[in-house]
Amino acid sequence: MDIRNYILNYVASQPKLAPFVIQGLIQVIAKITKLGWFEVQKDQFVFREIIADVKKFLQGTVEHCIIGVIILSELTQEMNLVDYSRPSAKHRKIATSFRDTSLKDVLVLACSLLKEVFAKPLNLQDQCQQNLVMQVLKLVLNCLNFDFIGSSADESADDLCTVQIPTTWRT
């Protein structure tokens, strides 16, 4: 937990790092969060507070907002990624828990960010604004590409073209 928080604080304090450095640090944050998803401290699943932690990024500068969106996008992708060096039952348990507790919140947050971005006059000549739109769209795509029913453990099977939305999301 301490390492993840240290990296989050470092990325927050250094938003102008080279993109490949930020991407690498964010991948570490996502992997640590996935590995610690069921860890409990003081009767709380502390690693599941990542969304609340990332919301602080979204309230900052455009650079911070982009970093926050990338963190959520990478986390969503990581939670859906099967690690063949670990038991698949553990992966399914983590992925299902993430889907049930956090994925809808991430998607709703991404959609609200899209509404915010498109509510203002859009200047795609501005590289930061363009990058923000691209990252938010990537986040929405990662949310909708999530393996909701646990059927696509084989990444070579790209023939499934439907999105299986959980019943609890249909409101």
Cα dihedral 99, 101, 102, 104 in deg (nearest 10): 70
C-alpha count within 13 angstroms, C-beta hemisphere, residue 1: 13
Domains of the chain by residue range: 2-150+159-169
Whether the CB-CB separation of 62 and 129 falls below 8 Å is answered with yes
pLDDT tens by residue, 15-55 = 889 999 999 999 999 999 998 888 777 777 777 788 888 99
pLDDT attached to residue 118:
82
Whether the CB-CB separation of 83 and 91 falls below 8 Å is answered with yes
pTM listed for this prediction: 0.84
pLDDT attached to residue 119:
86
Cα diameter, the chain? 48
Whether the CB-CB separation of 65 and 132 falls below 8 Å is answered with yes
Cα dihedral 83, 5, 139, 35 in deg (nearest 10): 20
In this prediction, the residues of the chain whose per-residue pLDDT falls under 70 are 150-171
